[in-house]
């Protein structure tokens, strides 16, 4: 979505927003005329005239307050709808990243994008739109009034406004560049801060707080240094424009006073010129500086929402015969993890993958499940290259129980069922298969028990079994388990393995425990004892 579409999709609310700005556009002019009219008291000859002047001046001077309240109500709908849409677009961008793309950045950088960057967009976008519409609208009305009083003032004000715009263009590029640097440093700071918070207990335990205080101090310094550089550019532009605006205002005051002294303009007109020229120039000063802030906010919008939509492939996934792996290799940067791996796995086979830590077990299954695509060699399901298979079709039939167990802040039932239709018989079956049924039956709310903060209110073993139950309930054709017994006792582990063994599916299990038992009950074992090489398959 581009920025134009953002406006057109919220057309009705944007019209209200513009209307809300336009009704307060004459506010300064109304106040100026109220003040000018008040000076007519010096020339009033009757009590009735004095009362009329006072009533008119007060009515005109205080009307903008009421208009501001109405304006706020008209504008708030557009602001709300756009922010909701931008947050959803940013979230959608993250969801559309492939696993390969997603691992290129840290979780903290994505958090910064969803929170800090959107806040930066919010702060600049709406404020700049408001000030630009208000400033230009006020300028047009003011120039019309000045043309009536003195065309010279109108022409001079227009020329100075054009000079202010030229200054805005000069500062446009450096303003955007400095803001982009702030965004990058902000993401890096979030990453560093989250890393410290995750290890805070260890830091205090080993009494190395001073070292991390220094690191934290350096990170803050770098962030604030970039913020300061961005602020300096804004201040330099602001000060130059303020000097030009102030100089012009001094000129208009002197020249208008001269015209009044020779009788060419009246006292009320003098007051209008004094107030209006200052308001117009300072208003345009602010509006032009807001143009760069608007452009910066648009840049932020594109940075947090734009992505290339993955093109779906025509080839659908099916696995009825064989999975063939030919000369598979994979490297993390310059470190070789898999080297010349060759495998044949039959459909419905139960496969055990084992080996010491760091030998590429998880990397192997990640290449087999489209989580890593930048490998060398070929992976073929029923003779079809994995890279040519549509990812949606693949994910519809392949499930993956990872070592990291994610739990939603929701009920046990919803954590297991997800978006599938609830089937009580099927649900109770997977609870039995994962040794969860007795525990859940003893809970006060049963399956409606709420899990909080990524499952922090249940044990590690329960979290692991909930994740296994989730994948069993999805009931896909191929299932991959990465260390399914890492948090379980021997009895529960045996029950889980018995469940896996009885599945009428293709199953791949990574494990470093209970190898004798698993080797006897699985169809094939893949030993990754040598770095990146299959030595017994």
Mean pLDDT confidence for 424-438: 94
d(CA 25, CA 68): 10
If asked whether residues 269 and 369 sit together in one domain, one would say no
Looking at the structure, tell me whether residues 10 and 107 fall in a common domain. Answer: yes
Q: Are residues 295 and 378 in the same domain?
A: no
Q: Are residues 98 and 219 in the same domain?
A: yes
Q: Is residue 311 part of a domain?
A: no
Q: Which residue has the tokens 């109500």?
A: 73
Q: Residue 111 belongs to a domain with what CATH number?
A: 1.20.1560.10
Which range has the worst mean pLDDT, 159-173, 393-407, 427-441, 523-537? 523-537
What percentage of the chain carries pLDDT values higher than 70? 96
Mean pLDDT taken over the chain: 85
Query: Are 359 and 461 part of one and the same domain?
Result: yes
* Residue 313 resides in a domain: no
Of the candidates 245, 267, 247, the one whose C-alpha atom is nearest the C-alpha of residue 256 is 267
Given a cut of 80, whether residue 504 has pLDDT beyond it is: yes
Instruction: Please determine, for residue 325, whether its predicted confidence score (pLDDT) is greater than 90.
Output: yes
Instruction: State mean pLDDT over 115-120.
Output: 80
Both 428 and 351 in a single domain? yes
How many domains does the chain fold into?
2
Residue 130 reports pLDDT greater than 60: yes
- pLDDT band, residue 43 (cuts 50/70/90): confident
* pLDDT tops 90 at residue 345: yes
Decide if pLDDT at 255 tops 70.
Answer: yes
Q: What phi, psi does 15 have (nearest 5°)?
A: -60, -45
pLDDT digit string, tens, across residues 375-407 = 999 999 999 999 999 888 898 999 999 888 788
243 in any annotated domain: yes
Most confident of 286-290, 437-441, 517-521: 437-441
Range of the domain at 386: 322-536
Do 299 and 326 lie in one domain? The reply is no
Please check whether residue 517 lies inside any domain of the structure.
yes
Residue 37 lies in a domain: yes
Question: 73 pLDDT exceeds 50?
Answer: yes
- Please give the Cα distance from 176 to 189 (Å, whole number): 20
pLDDT of residue 534 exceeding 60, the answer is no
pLDDT of the residue at 535: 47
- Residue 141's pLDDT is 87
* Residue 112 falls inside a structural domain: yes
Please report the pLDDT score of residue 214 as a whole number: 82
Average pLDDT on 338-352 reads 91
Confidence band for 108, pLDDT divided at 50, 70 and 90: low
**What's residue 446's pLDDT?**
92
What are 455-481's pLDDT values in tens digits?
888 888 899 999 999 999 999 999 999
Highest mean pLDDT among 94-108, 110-124, 315-329, 395-409: 315-329
Task: Say yes or no to pLDDT of 411 above 70.
Answer: yes
In this prediction, residue 311 carries a pLDDT of 67
> Residue 368: pLDDT above 90?
yes
Which among 89, 119, 132, 240 has a CA at the least distance from the CA of 183?
119
pLDDT tops 70 at residue 533: no
Q: Do both 329 and 289 map to the same domain?
A: no
> Does residue 176 sit within a domain?
yes
Out of 305, 338, 373, a domain closes at: 305
Q: Which of 207-211, 274-278, 435-439 has the lowest mean pLDDT?
A: 207-211
Q: Provide the pLDDT for residue 536.
A: 47
pLDDT cut 90: percent of the chain above it: 26
pLDDT for the residue numbered 532: 56
Q: What are the residues whose beta carbons fall under 8 Å from the beta carbon of 162, sequence distance 6 or more?
A: none
Listed residues 246, 277, 305: the one ending a domain:
305
Q: Give 219's Cβ-side CA count (13 Å radius).
A: 18
Contact status, residue 311 vs residue 391, Cβ threshold 8 Å: no
- Render pLDDT for 172-228 as a digit per residue (tens, 0 to 9): 888 888 878 887 888 788 777 777 777 777 777 777 777 778 878 888 888 888 888
DSSP reduced 3-state for 422: coil
Note the pLDDT of residue 120.
80
- Look-up of token digits 């073929």: 380
Same domain, 334 and 252: no
CATH number at residue 398: 3.40.50.300
317 assigned to some structural domain? no
Q: Strand, helix or coil at 527?
A: strand
The DSSP secondary structure of 490-521, one letter per residue, reads HHHHHHHHHHHHT-SSEEEEE-SSSHHHHHHH
Q: What pLDDT was estimated at residue 380?
A: 95
Residues 301 and 396 in one domain: no
Mean pLDDT of 513-522: 78
Is 218 found in the same domain as 166?
yes
Q: Which of 305, 339, 370 is the last residue before a domain boundary?
A: 305
523 neighbors 329 (Cβ within 8 angstroms): no
- C-alpha distances out from residue 203 to 65, 207, 215, 216, 505, Å: 55, 6, 13, 13, 46
Q: Which of residues 309 and 38 earns the better pLDDT score?
A: 38
Same domain assignment for residues 69 and 165: yes
For 472-491, what is the mean pLDDT? 90
């Amino acid at each position: 979505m581009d920025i134009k579409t953002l406006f057109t999709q919220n057309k009705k609310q944007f019209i209200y927003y513009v209307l809300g700005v336009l009704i307060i556009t004459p506010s300064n002019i109304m106040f100026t005329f109220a003040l000018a009219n008040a000076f007519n008291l010096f020339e009033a000859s009757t009590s009735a005239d004095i009362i009329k002047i006072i009533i008119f001046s007060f009515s005109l001077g205080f009307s903008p307050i009421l208009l501001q309240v109405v304006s706020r109500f008209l504008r708030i709908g557009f602001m709300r709808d756009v922010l909701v849409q931008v947050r959803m677009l940013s979230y959608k961008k993250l969801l559309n990243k492939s696993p390969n793309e997603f691992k290129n950045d840290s979780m903290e950088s994505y958090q910064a994008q969803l929170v800090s960057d959107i806040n930066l967009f919010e702060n600049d976008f709406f404020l700049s739109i408001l000030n630009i519409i208000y400033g230009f609208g006020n300028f047009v009305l003011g120039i019309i009034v000045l043309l009536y009083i003195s065309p010279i003032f109108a022409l001079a004000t227009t020329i100075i406004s054009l000079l202010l715009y030229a200054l805005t263009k000069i500062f446009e590029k450096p303003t955007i560049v400095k803001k982009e640097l702030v965004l990058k440093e902000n993401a890096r700071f979030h990453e560093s801060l989250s890393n410290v918070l995750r290890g805070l207990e260890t830091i205090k335990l080993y009494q190395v707080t001073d070292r991390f205080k220094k690191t934290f101090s350096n990170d803050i310094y770098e962030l604030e240094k970039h913020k300061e550089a961005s602020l300096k550019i804004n201040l330099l532009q602001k000060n130059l424009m303020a000097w030009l605006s102030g100089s012009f205002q001094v000129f208009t005051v002197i020249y208008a006073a001269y015209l009044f002294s020779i009788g060419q303009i009246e006292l009320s007109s003098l007051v209008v010129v004094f107030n209006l020229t200052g308001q117009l120039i300072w208003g345009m000063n602010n509006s032009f500086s807001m143009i760069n802030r608007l452009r910066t906010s648009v840049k932020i919008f594109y940075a947090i929402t734009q992505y290339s939509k993955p093109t779906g492939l025509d080839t659908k996934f099916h696995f009825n015969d064989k999975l063939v792996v030919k000369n598979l290799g994979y490297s993390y940067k310059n470190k070789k993890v898999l080297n010349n791996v060759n495998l044949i796995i039959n459909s419905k086979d139960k496969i055990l993958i084992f080996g010491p830590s760091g030998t590429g077990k998880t990397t192997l299954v990640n290449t087999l499940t489209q989580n890593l695509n930048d490998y060398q060699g070929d992976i073929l399901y029923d003779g079809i290259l994995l890279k040519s298979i549509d990812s949606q079709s693949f994910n519809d039939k392949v499930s993956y129980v990872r070592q990291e167990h994610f739990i939603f802040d929701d009920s046990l039932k919803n954590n297991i069922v997800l978006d599938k239709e609830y089937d009580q018989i099927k649900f109770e079956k997977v609870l039995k298969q994962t040794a969860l049924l007795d525990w859940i039956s003893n809970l006060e709310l049963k399956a409606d028990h709420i899990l909080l903060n990524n499952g922090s209110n249940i044990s590690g073993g329960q979290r692991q079994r909930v994740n296994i139950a989730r994948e069993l309930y999805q009931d896909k054709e191929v299932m991959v388990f990465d260390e399914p017994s890492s948090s379980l006792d021997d009895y529960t582990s045996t029950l889980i393995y018995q469940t896996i063994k009885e599945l009428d599916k293709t199953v791949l299990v990574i494990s470093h425990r209970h190898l004798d038992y698993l080797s006897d009950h699985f169809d094939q074992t893949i030993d990754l004892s040598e770095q990146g090489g299959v030595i017994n398959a």
